[in-house]
Amino acid sequence: MFSLILNGIGTLMHFYVAHRLYALAPIRTRVKARWWWLGAVVVWAVYLLGVRLGDAALDWRWWPGQFAMTWLGILFVMTQYLLLADLVTGFGLWLRNWAPRILAAGAIAGVSVSAFAIFQAVRAPAIVEYELPLAGLPQELDGMTLVAISDTHLGAQRRAAWLGKRVDQINALEPAAVVMLGDQVEDEPINDDQLAPVLRRLRAPLGVWAVTGNHEYYGDAGGTIAEFSAGGVKWLRDERVEIAPGLHLAGLDDIGRAMHGGDIYAGLARTIPNRAEGATILLAHIPAPGLVERAAREGVSLMLSGHTHGGQIWPFNYLVKREFPHLVGVHREGDMQLVISRGAGGWGPRMRLWQPGEILKLTLRSPQT
């Protein structure tokens, strides 16, 4: 069903964009119609093949699957600007002297914004820093630094070499602990021999900790957990540990699957069966409405999540916000702080528009200081 929807929407946008671009004189006078439309059909056929293959295959020979999602993103952006130009000019019926220029401006804007969105997706994630007062944090731990990375979506587009550059960014921040907030992979284990050595390069005296997200469970979650464990990552699967005196780290397992029929709160009850002395940091991939409030009532000091990508491509942030009122950044729920990361990688199109990737540097502050 998902492939059929992508095929239909993508086909409509593809031929609309091809039709409107061919209306531009610089293209129409230089390219014969039969060659233009032959090229459009060939690209369309590759797109349909790519949607059918999907973008999870790791062999370069399956590149149409990776091309298809990014092409869909480009078509989405191009359609916005070309359609805006058409609406302003009544599809050429109004402002006839200006209509070709307005259409050309729409095409240039679409290409430029698409290129910028690809640039934002492929460049290194930004380091975003927050100072967070934590209820119950002992004074001795004031100033401790954690680094959080979410939604790397390792797979066909991002491999161990890409993650290695993120490891360098993280190590430069000198964290006491590193936490991975879910969707470490696109779906299946990446089967990259360099993954474990890359992960073992992380320098964090209090450990490297992870929770699953929904994408781990789209494939072989057990295989992914084993791959990361081989690199020294410790998984929190509905459990809580004390990583320093008075500082507890708790992790919810597979909250994504729980949202589709399971009981979120049962996982929370297993993870935090009672209040702990000091401060508790909860890792939960999805900042689900209801869960946030429940975690605050259970005495969590800080909740760290990802999943939303900040919307990834404007204007999807407005749609995502309808399901997740807390979209990105720092929020407060009672005595609890909630921080939601836009993620370091991305899903689907290799594009990020106005929502760049990020790695979080979190400096913990004791209210006693």
Alpha helices in the chain (DSSP H): 2-22, 25-28, 33-53, 63-88, 99-122, 160-172, 195-200, 221-229, 255-258, 264-271, 291-297, 316-323
Q: Which fold has domain 126-365?
A: Purple Acid Phosphatase; chain A, domain 2 (3.60.21)
Which of 84, 140, 83, 183 lies closest to 366, judged by CA?
140
State CA 17 to chain mean position distance: 27
Q: State the CB neighbour count (10 A cutoff) for residue 116.
A: 15
Q: What is the pLDDT of residue 27?
A: 96
Which of 111, 109, 113 lies closest to 84, judged by CA?
109
* Residue 364 contacts residue 141 (beta carbons within 8 Å): yes
Q: What is the pLDDT of residue 348?
A: 85
Q: What is the pLDDT of residue 57?
A: 56
Which of 80, 162, 168 lies closest to 122, judged by CA?
162
Cβ-based burial of 29 (10 A; exposed 0-12, middle 13-18, buried ≥19): exposed
Peptide bond into 315 cis (omega under 30): yes
Q: What is the pLDDT of residue 51?
A: 84
Ordered DSSP codes for 23-58: TSHHHHTTS-HHHHHHHHHHHHHHHHHHHHH-S---
What does the H/E/C string look like for 110-155? HHHHHHHHHHHHHCCCEEEEEEEECCCCCHHHCCCEEEEECCCCEC
* Residue 352 contacts residue 121 (beta carbons within 8 Å): yes
Sheet holding 358-365, edge to edge: 126-133, 358-365, 145-149, 177-180, 208-210, 234-235
Q: What is the pLDDT of residue 66?
A: 83
User: What's phi and psi for 9, nearest 5 deg?
Assistant: -65, -45
**Distance between CA atoms of residues 69 and 166, nearest Å:** 24
- What contacts 310, CB < 8 A, 6 or more positions away? 317, 320, 327, 328, 342, 343, 355
Q: Angle at CA 102, nearest 5°, toward 97 and 108?
A: 145
Q: What is the pLDDT of residue 1?
A: 66
**Distance between CA atoms of residues 133 and 110, nearest Å:** 43
**Distance between CA atoms of residues 117 and 369, nearest Å:** 43
Give the DSSP H/E element, type plus range, for residue 328: none
What single letter denotes the amino acid at residue 151?
D
* Residue 302 contacts residue 278 (beta carbons within 8 Å): no
Q: What is the pLDDT of residue 128?
A: 98
Q: What is the pLDDT of residue 264?
A: 74
Would you give per-residue pLDDT tens digits along the chain (369 residues)? 666 777 889 999 999 999 999 999 999 999 999 999 999 999 999 999 888 877 655 555 568 888 898 999 999 999 999 999 999 999 888 888 999 999 999 999 999 999 999 999 999 999 999 999 999 999 999 999 999 999 999 988 899 999 999 999 999 999 999 999 999 999 899 999 999 999 999 999 999 999 999 999 988 999 999 999 999 999 999 999 999 999 999 999 977 666 556 677 788 888 998 888 999 999 999 998 889 999 999 999 999 999 999 999 999 999 899 999 999 999 999 999 999 999 999 988 999 999 899 999 999 999 866
CATH 3.60.21.10 in the chain: give the residue spans: 126-365
